[in-house]
Every structure is written in structure tokens, then in C-alpha cells.
């Protein structure tokens, strides 16, 4: 006899010496439990679909950060070899005084923490705790994405200022 069936519950009640459950009431409880399980499964599927989107966004932000780092290295190299654009023009025209080139300060940007993907509901529904754990994991991933976006925004702003200083 399988656990959770009406017959099992009747036998259990008989052994414990308690009243047998009402069949209609038992079936209603089983139906409610099945509906709750289906809702949890649907919520887990939704969370897993969002996880795929977060992974895509995270990859895009990492690519943007990589591009910004390469751009910053090129800006530093150009400034180290040529100085500012006005110094370069003075040198080319012949009016330059041979000033030392300006060297940009190093960008002190810390790398973003890695985004983990564990804690999803893909193993199957085991109750509300798995869903809660997956949602907590997604909150952590959103925090990491926000931090990456802020770092990229700071880096772009810094590079824009460097280019404006370079052009003046």
C-alpha cells in the first residue's frame, strides 16, 4: 500500500485507534495538495526561465566591461606615447616645448563578483523552500548585475572625462 492513499490512511487510523478519515474530505485535501504542487512547479519553471535571461544579461555586462577595459588601456597607451592632443599638434607643427606626456591614473575598478547559477528549481519541485531558495538566489544575482552595471557606468563616465581632457 502506498503512503498517501486513502487505504493507507484508513489502515493508519485503525492502528492508531482514531476515527477513519472521510473519503470526500481526504480527496479534497489530496486535490488541494496536487494543485499547490502544480503551482509550485509552474513558479519554478518561471524562475528557471528568468535565470536564463539573467545569464544573458550578465554575459552582456561582462562583455561591456571587457570592452571598457580594453578601451581604457588604449587611452592610457595613447596618452603615454603622445600626451594630450594639443601637445601632439604643437609637436607636429613645431611649436612644442617637448613637455613630458601626461599619464592617466590607473582605473581602480574591482572586478565584479561571479554570478552563480545554482539554486534553481530545475531539479523538480520539492516544496516552497526550493522556490524560496531559488528566489533568494535570483535576488543575489540581481544585486551582482546591478553592481556590474554601476561599474560599467562609472568606467564609461571616467573614460568620457579622460577623452574630453585629452582633446582639450
Domain-embedded: residue 52: yes
Has residue 98 got a pLDDT over 50?
Answer: no
Please name which of 44, 40, 35, 34 lies closest in space to residue 123, comparing C-alpha atoms. 44
Domain-embedded: residue 98: yes
For 118-154, what is each residue's pLDDT tens digit?
A: 444 544 445 557 777 777 788 888 888 889 889 889 9
The boundaries of the domain holding residue 125 are: 44-167
How many other β-carbons are positioned within 10 Å of the β-carbon of residue 155?
19
Domain-embedded: residue 77: yes
Q: At what angle do helices 23-82 and 128-167 cross, to 10 degrees?
A: 20
Domain-embedded: residue 163: yes
Domain-embedded: residue 21: no
Measured between its terminal Cα atoms, the distance across the chain in Å is 85
Residue 18, class by beta-carbon neighbours within 10 Å (0-12 exposed, 13-18 middle, 19+ buried)?
exposed
75 or 101, which is more confident: 75
* pLDDT for position 96: 45
- The answer to which of 82-86, 104-108, 149-153 has the lowest mean pLDDT is 104-108
Domain-embedded: residue 138: yes
Specify the DSSP element, H or E, that contains 117: none
Domain-embedded: residue 25: no
3-class secondary-structure state, position 146? helix
For 17-76, what is each residue's pLDDT tens digit?
A: 899 888 899 899 999 988 998 998 888 888 888 888 888 888 888 888 889 888 888 888
The pTM assigned to this predicted structure is 0.48
30 or 106, which is more confident: 30
Number of domains in the chain: 1
Please name which of 118, 87, 89 lies closest in space to residue 100, comparing C-alpha atoms. 87
Has residue 106 got a pLDDT over 60?
Answer: no
Cα separation, 41 vs 126, in Å, equals 9
Region 77-106: mean pLDDT is 59
Domain-embedded: residue 53: yes
* pLDDT for position 28: 92
Grid coordinates of 94? 613645431
Amino acid at each position: 500500500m502506498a503512503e498517501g492513499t486513502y487505504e493507507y490512511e484508513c489502515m493508519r487510523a485503525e492502528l492508531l485507534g482514531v476515527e477513519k478519515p472521510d473519503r470526500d474530505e481526504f480527496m479534497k485535501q489530496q486535490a488541494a495538495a496536487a494543485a499547490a504542487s502544480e503551482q509550485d512547479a509552474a513558479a519554478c519553471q518561471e524562475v528557471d526561465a528568468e535565470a536564463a535571461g539573467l545569464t544573458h544579461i550578465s554575459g552582456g555586462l561582462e562583455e561591456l566591461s571587457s570592452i571598457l577595459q580594453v578601451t581604457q588601456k588604449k587611452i592610457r597607451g595613447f596618452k603615454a606615447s603622445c600626451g594630450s592632443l594639443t601637445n601632439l599638434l604643437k609637436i607636429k607643427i613645431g611649436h612644442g616645448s617637448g613637455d613630458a606626456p601626461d599619464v592617466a591614473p590607473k582605473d581602480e575598478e574591482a572586478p565584479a563578483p561571479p554570478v552563480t547559477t545554482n539554486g534553481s528549481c530545475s531539479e523538480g519541485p520539492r516544496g516552497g523552500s526550493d522556490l524560496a531558495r531559488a528566489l533568494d538566489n535570483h535576488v543575489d544575482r540581481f544585486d551582482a548585475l546591478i553592481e556590474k552595471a554601476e561599474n560599467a557606468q562609472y568606467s564609461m563616465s571616467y573614460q568620457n572625462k579622460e577623452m574630453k581632457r585629452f582633446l582639450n
